[in-house]
Structure 1
């Protein structure tokens, strides 16, 4: 199988995740980690949240700010990344702080970190290679397009905030869609407020030591 160029860094529990046929995959879901760096995202991915299966939540692929791509879960396995869509989808996570660390605070809902050019170029290349590998991959969505739940804000339970709003208003949908032949599933009812991007790293980010899987 000609898989997208990615460094295998499989989660310890991948063998406990469900197996699927490649022709069952029809959708890619774009996420941002809403965490400060790859190392923290790895810690979250390794957490066992489901006692019955010994598994947790993660995407299949993680793209760091310098464009390096890591495979946490093989595409032949069902990863827990988007409620209700996991069996037919691939989750791709971009390292981006999002609303970190006050995700559900009503005063911290702006997402101001821009995605790096290296990340977006790597994402487009990954999507193109996935389309070559997966015959039924036809659709793409953001996490916020598929999970539209609202929850009480952590600072004021009388106020509701979106449970998920990644990849957020600074994700360059037009550029990504121009690079790949995928149809977007879009939550058209959401209008993001104007956001001024924050400065993002222009030099490669130092990667943590990444153990290779067998």
Structure 2
């Protein structure tokens, strides 16, 4: 059973560059995008999120990070556009689930399995967060996986003659049916 939205505890821990991210109106957010960090732990995900990758002094990050134990951290305010999925950032909220995914050989043809399951505590916290966002964001109606929106295939790092998905998250072990039954959102593919 998922916790009630009122039981949700969010730790606010803004990224150093949060104020440099573009501002937006909350009524423009109609999509939640589910990711997995494809990193070993929350501390590593935080370090990656803090890395400046753009001339604007910002980097890649989701709005929320959900650890394996169900702890929820907010790195970017909803009023700011985080860089988490190409082509959909302005309209979406990015939710990162801590999961190793294909780490550390993300694009290796021989390492495309995503075999770490998502713990119940993490999925329960995700459901509570999605319910909270649904109550907070008036236009939120859709949910998608990163893999649904970024379908580009790129040369494999270990064999450039083979093309692999650039993004596979949240991956084949993500419990879509369970999540969709628990929240009032439609999956966008």
TM-superposed deviation, 1:5:
3.2
| Aligned partners of 1:115 and 1:171 also within 8 Å | yes
1:46 equivalent in structure 2:
50
Q: Which runs of 4+ in 1 moved over 2 A?
A: none
TM-score where L is the length of structure 1: 0.84
SS state at 1:107 partner: helix
| Partner residue in 1 for 2:117 | 114
Correspondence 1:53-202 to 2 at 5 A: 53-186=56-189
> 1:58–1:80: 8 Å Cα contact kept in structure 2?
yes
User: What is the DSSP-based 3-state SS (H/G/I as helix, E as strand, rest coil) of the residue aligned with 2:110?
Assistant: coil
Q: Which SS does the other structure have where 2:93 is aligned?
A: strand
Point out where structure 1 has 5 or more consecutive residues left out of the alignment: 187-214
Report the Cα distance in structure 2 between the residues aligned to 1:69 and 1:17, rounded to whole angstroms: 21
Q: Pairwise CA RMSD of aligned residues?
A: 0.9
Alignment partner for residue 35 of structure 1, among 26, 39, 63? 39
Q: Tell me, in whole angstroms, the C-alpha distance in 1 between the residues paired with 2:102 and 2:158.
A: 14
- How big is each residue's C-alpha offset from its partner over 1:13-37, in whole Å with a ceiling of 9 and x where there is no partner? 0000011111000000000000000
**Does the residue aligned with 1:125 lie in a helix, a strand or coil?**
helix
Give the count of matched residue pairs.
183
Aligned-partner SS, 1:154: coil
| Kept after mapping to 2: 8 A contact 1:66/1:116 | yes
CA distance in 2 between partners of 1:126 and 1:105 (Å) = 33
> Equivalents in 2 of 1:5, 1:27: separation in Å?
22
State the alpha-carbon separation in 1 of the partners of residues 22 and 10 from structure 2.
Answer: 21
> Distance in 1 between the 2:10 and 2:79 partners?
15
- Give ranges in structure 2 of 5+ residues lacking alignment: 1-5
Shift of 1:45: 0.1
1:201 matched to which residue of 2?
Answer: none
Hey, what's the Cα distance between the residues in 2 that align with 1:48 and 1:129?
Answer: 30
More helix by share: 2
